[in-house]
Amino acid sequence: MKFIDWLDERLAIRQLMKVMLLEYYVPKNINFLWSFGVLIMLVLIILIVSGIFLLMYYKPDANLAFDSVNKTIMMDVEFGWLFRHVHAVGASIMFLVLFIHMGRGIYYGSFKPPRELVWLTGYFLFILMAATAFTGYLLPWGQMSYWAAQTITTLFEKIPVIGPDLVIWIRGNYIVADATLTRFFALHVVFLPLLLIFVTVVHLYAVRIVGSNNEDGIEIPKEEKKKKGIPFWPVFMSKEFFVMSVFLIFFFWLVFYKFDFAMDPINFTPANYLQTPPHIYPEWYFLAFYEVLRGFFFSQNLGLIAFVLSMLLPMFLPWIDKSPIKSGNHRPLFKIAFWIFVLDFIFLTVLGKLPPTGLYGWLGFVGSLVFFAFFIALPIISRIERKELERGGNKQ
Amino acid sequence: MKDLKILAIISILVIITYIGIEPFAKHEMHGTVPPPDYNYLDLPKKELTGNPEQGKVLFKQNCASCHSVQADGISATMDKQTAQLSFKVVPPDLSNIASIIEPHFFAAFVKDPQSATKFPKFAMPGMSYLTDEQIGHIYSYLKSVAKPQEKLTGKDILHDACTRCHSVKYQKIKAQTDPKYLNDYLGKVPPDLSLMGKAKEEEYLATFISNPQVMLPGTSMPRLGLKQESAEKVIAYLDNIADPHKEERNKLGLWVLGYLVVLAGLTYAWKRKIWSNLH
Amino acid sequence: MAEDEKVSRRDFLLYAMGGWAAIGVGATLYAMYKTWEPLPEVKAQATVKFKLSEVQPGELRVVAWRGKPVFILRKTPDMVSCPDRTIEKEFTVVVGICTHLGCIPNWEADKKIWHCPCHGGEYDACGRNIFGPPPKPLAIPPFKIEGDYIVLGEVGPEYQRLMKG
């Protein structure tokens, strides 16, 4: 006990514990969807730890990278295959839990005042995670790694004036080559993770200041938080531990028996800059955005603008959806729009992997329009709801 | 209850997405792989019988200038380097060939290798002057020296059937022909087979080996007339070397999942205990 | 009373859960520990086979074994004799790393000694330290005799006998 007092005097750990865990109250009227933040933390830790062990044998060199992954790590290092499977499946599952976490935020209006910064930092984390995944995907230096990097970096070519020079600068070569691999490696293992960790801290801090949203979207005043809430530790976390262990069962089932979805067969052929594989597509978590890019198949520029918009629009949700009602539970119109959006996102994801010809081309176009329709519908729905509230007066 | 409902909705959405991007998309991209044809039905079915002694004489007269039969102490007249220079590929040793390939493919191949392999640039010249009877003698000679099929491992067959052109780097197997000649012969250096078991599905490999032009029209891979058993052994070997930790993985997986199930039970009990104190 | 029971049950669960989680952490740490073991290709170099009869009388050969030089010297009758450090009656086989600070001594054929360039330590043809700072004779690597060959890195009966004697 003495040691804790000693620490407390110097680091105020008791106060820290109170703010972060013991007297941080989580509302009672939340459901299992509120567990996904903790799951994201869990996956992030799994990714960092497994990544560190991959790093010990990986060689960021165009001549060595493929063999260092597929021979050294996968075949020679004891349990190397396990760390790689965990890392690959972890990256994929990270986006699953991220999407659910973000969907929860959209549905229950968790981005609305006073939580704009929670949403913004969270969305920034999503973009950072996407960049980390993209740079990391190049590292095994297989055919899919190579051509994914080649095509996505080519997108920058379309930027007016500076585009062509910018692409060469990003790649450090006229094509994706050794220089690209090495810089992507640096970004993937140092720069982006550091930034991710930093922004995560800000994100968690912001949540602790404004508190968690809840199913009804009705703010709990500070004085009542203790009465109407449960402490983060141990009550909320006791449930989280259970959710985490069930999640880990699913996760390791994938790692051991169903890892194929995270390891494309095409990527077991070494990168060859002279031959594009017959089908190339990004990993599943980018497919929806990729399909928006391809959806405007008649105009490359339009597609590119749409792609950028689709990645950036959700960030501005706090200013797009200004309805005074927070939770989707109490917003019948929004509910319909939300579910159409979710289904459309899945639809786009599936289409993103199919060849963009004939009917699929047109379906992609329609799907992309529906994607944007959601963001156009939100201000309209907000206005209708505001008017109804005014008319209903003190009804609710 | 509510949580279970949410979990159910999420599961359904995830499963729909999974089916869409994995089985469905793969089917849309690759179509269905046609079944392999190990009977080489386009070639005339023939029984090959004959006299091994006569076959040996015929072999020495017609084949031994390029091909060796190490099992019987016959070496080729032409050394490897010369053969490589003139044919751009090393001619195979034929010790076990009779156990590896289908007899009627052998008969058709000897007469017209280019059409039997469906590869117009195939290096071996046709021996159309040989009669069916003579081919029967040669075959029965080769049959008499060959190890029986049951005794050949996937690696043996790979060595006789594939590694003249393909290397298997991770197993330290180098292609017998120098890559620079192969490039002249085939238009490109054939892919390394170390990870082929992972890069391609079993069905694809089976059909591709039994009839390359079906899966990859215009490919430089010749049809080699492997018996079904031979092809299956090679594919099993390729799978095995591409994924050497499969057994270990499957076993460890059970332990890890078992461990986690117990962990889930314990955490659930603890959660109930804590939440039962809340009112 | 009932309250007490509740608490103790909760504590028991907490300990059980914590203990079980610790097993998982332990297993993970074990997997991590294993990843640092030398790779198969390194382990393959753990033993080296060398044909002793290749060495001419009076000749010194240096063989790389686990990244270290091993001196194989076929002695001539005019060199010092030491039955307890001699293999197959005429060979001195020692790890060529000075027992002082790890430099590699040079063979001086005229004097029939090893002379360490770093601090002037000297060893006789048996590998025993005869001058300077080295505290011990040059180490004899584990070996096994297989007919005409010596296998470095495996323990054979001859090695065990030398170590005892």
ipTM over 0.90: yes
Report the distance separating Cα A370 and Cα A357, nearest Å: 19
Chain A residues lying within 8 Å of B253, measured CB to CB: 252-253, 255-257
Q: Inspect the interface and report whether the beta carbons of B21 and A248 lie closer than 8 Å.
A: no
Domain ranges of chain B: 52-242, 245-279
3-state secondary structure B113-138: HHHHHCCCCCCCCCCCCCCHHHHHHH
DSSP B270: H
In chain B, the N- to C-terminal Cα span, in Å, equals: 18
For B267, the closest of A75, A242, A266 (CB atoms) is A242
Identify whether C119 is a catalytic site residue: yes
Write out pLDDT tens, residues A52-111.
999 999 999 999 999 999 999 999 999 999 999 999 999 999 999 999 999 999 999 999
Report the distance separating Cα A316 and Cα A308, nearest Å: 13
A71 touches chain B (CB under 8 A): yes
Q: Is C66 found in the same domain as C147?
A: yes
Model confidence band, residue A396 (pLDDT cutoffs 50, 70, 90): very low
Domains along chain A with CATH numbers: 2-271 (1.20.810.10), 281-390 (1.10.287)
3-state secondary structure chain A: CHHHHHHHHHHCHHHHHHHHHHCCEEECCCCHHHHHHHHHHHHHHHHHHHHHHHHCCCCCCCCCHHHHHHHHHHHHCCCHHHHHHHHHHHHHHHHHHHHHHHHHHHHCCCCCCCCHHHHHHHHHHHHHHHHHHHHHHHCCCEHHHHHHHHHHHHHHHHCCCCHHHHHHHHHCCCCCCHHHHHHHHHHHHHHHHHHHHHHHHHHHHHHHHHCCCCCCCCCCCHHHHHHHEEEHHHHHHHHHHHHHHHHHHHHHHHHHHCHHHHCCHHHHCECCCCCCCCCCCCCHHHHHHHHHHHHCCCCHHHHHHHHHHHHHHHHHHHHHCCCCCCCHHHCHHHHHHHHHHHHHHHHHHHHHHCCCCHHHHHHHHHHHHHHHHHHHHHHHHHHHHHHHHHHHHHHC
Please, are residues A195 and A202 in contact by the beta-carbon 8 Å criterion?
no
Across the A/C interface, how many CB contacts are shorter than 8 Å?
24
Please, are residues A129 and A255 in contact by the beta-carbon 8 Å criterion?
no
Q: Inspect the interface and report whether the beta carbons of C6 and B269 lie closer than 8 Å.
A: no
Catalytic residue chosen out of the listed positions C49, C119, C136, C161:
C119
Q: Inspect the interface and report whether the beta carbons of B268 and A230 lie closer than 8 Å.
A: no
Contact partners of B by the rule of 3+ C-beta pairs under 8 A? A, C
Q: Is C3 found in the same domain as C79?
A: no
State the pLDDT at residue A20: 81
Please, are residues A355 and B28 in contact by the beta-carbon 8 Å criterion?
yes
Report the distance separating Cα A128 and Cα A185, nearest Å: 15
Q: Is C58 found in the same domain as C24?
A: no
> Mutate which of A249, A275, A347 to disrupt the B interface (most B C-beta within 10 Å)?
A249
Report H helices in chain B: 2-19, 25-30, 52-62, 80-87, 97-100, 103-111, 113-117, 132-145, 154-161, 179-186, 196-199, 202-210, 212-215, 228-242, 246-276
Q: Is C100 found in the same domain as C31?
A: no
Range of the domain at C109: 44-164
Q: Inspect the interface and report whether the beta carbons of A56 and C40 lie closer than 8 Å.
A: no
Residue of C nearest to A74 (CA): C35
Residues of chain B with pLDDT under 70: 279
Report the distance separating Cα A11 and Cα A4, nearest Å: 10
Question: Which comes out higher in pLDDT, residue A396 or A370?
Answer: A370
Report the distance separating Cα B33 and Cα A89, nearest Å: 27
Q: Is C20 found in the same domain as C101?
A: no
Q: Is C120 found in the same domain as C71?
A: yes
B78 CB-near residues (< 8 Å, 6+ apart): B65, B66, B86, B91
Q: Is C90 found in the same domain as C127?
A: yes
B268 touches chain C (CB under 8 A): no
> How distant is the alpha carbon of residue A144 from its chain centre?
21
State the pLDDT at residue C5: 55
Q: Which of A285, A19, A343, A1 is nearest to A134 (CA)?
A: A285
C67 touches chain A (CB under 8 A): no
Q: Is C115 found in the same domain as C71?
A: yes
Q: Is C104 found in the same domain as C28?
A: no
For C13, the closest of B262, B273, B277 (CB atoms) is B273
Q: Is C81 found in the same domain as C3?
A: no
Which secondary-structure segment (H or E) carries C20? helix C2-35
**CATH for B52-242?**
1.10.760.10
On the CB side of C59, CA atoms within 13 Å amount to 8
Q: Inspect the interface and report whether the beta carbons of B263 and C14 lie closer than 8 Å.
A: no
Mean pLDDT value across chain A:
93
Chain B residues lying within 8 Å of A244, measured CB to CB: 267
Residue B10, min C-alpha distance to chain A (Å):
8
Residue B1, min C-alpha distance to chain A (Å):
10
Place of tokens 């917003």: A331
State yes or no: cis peptide before A221, omega within 30 of 0.
Answer: no
Q: Inspect the interface and report whether the beta carbons of B20 and A349 lie closer than 8 Å.
A: yes
Please, are residues B190 and B183 in contact by the beta-carbon 8 Å criterion?
no
**Residue A326 — φ and ψ, nearest 5°?**
-85, -60
State the pLDDT at residue A200: 96
Residue B279, min C-alpha distance to chain C (Å):
15
Please, are residues A51 and A189 in contact by the beta-carbon 8 Å criterion?
yes
Q: What is the C-alpha R_g of chain A?
A: 23
For B263, the closest of C10, C13, C24 (CB atoms) is C24
Q: Inspect the interface and report whether the beta carbons of A53 and C35 lie closer than 8 Å.
A: yes
State the pLDDT at residue A17: 87
Locate B160 and state its tokens.
């006789």
Write out pLDDT tens, residues A31-42.
999 999 999 999
Q: Inspect the interface and report whether the beta carbons of C31 and A241 lie closer than 8 Å.
A: no
Please, are residues A81 and A155 in contact by the beta-carbon 8 Å criterion?
no
Q: Is C156 found in the same domain as C127?
A: yes
- Dihedral of the alpha carbons of A307, A308, A310, A313, in degrees to the nearest 10: -170
Write out pLDDT tens, residues C13-25.
889 999 999 999 9
Residue of B nearest to A269 (CA): B199
Q: Which of A45, A54, A78 is nearest to A248 (CA)?
A: A45
Residues of chain C with pLDDT under 50: 1-2
B128 touches chain A (CB under 8 A): no
Locate A169 and state its tokens.
């600068």
Please, are residues C121 and C131 in contact by the beta-carbon 8 Å criterion?
yes
Write out pLDDT tens, residues C134-149.
999 999 999 999 888 9
Q: Which of A284, A290, A273, A282 is nearest to A143 (CA)?
A: A273
Q: Inspect the interface and report whether the beta carbons of B259 and C23 lie closer than 8 Å.
A: yes
Report the distance separating Cα B101 and Cα B160, nearest Å: 11
B33 CB-near residues (< 8 Å, 6+ apart): B201, B203, B204, B207, B215
* Mean pLDDT of all residues in A239-261: 95
Report the distance separating Cα C107 and Cα C100, nearest Å: 17
Q: Residue A395 pLDDT more than 50?
A: no
CB burial of A245-275 (b: ≥16 within 10 Å; e: otherwise) equals bbbbbbbbbbbbeebeebbbbbbbbbbeeee
State the pLDDT at residue C87: 87
Task: State the CB neighbour count (10 A cutoff) for residue A292.
Answer: 27
Residue A276, min C-alpha distance to chain B (Å):
15
Residue C14, min C-alpha distance to chain A (Å):
10
State the pLDDT at residue C6: 55
Number of domains in chain C: 2
Evaluated on CA atoms A255, B256, B259, B261, the torsion sign reads positive
Q: Is C52 found in the same domain as C102?
A: yes
DSSP C144: E
Q: Residue A148 pLDDT more than 90?
A: yes
Q: Which of B169, B154, B164, B117 is nearest to B235 (CA)?
A: B154
Locate B159 and state its tokens.
């060595």
CB burial of A372-390 (b: ≥16 within 10 Å; e: otherwise) equals bebbebbeebbeebeeeee
State the pLDDT at residue C7: 56
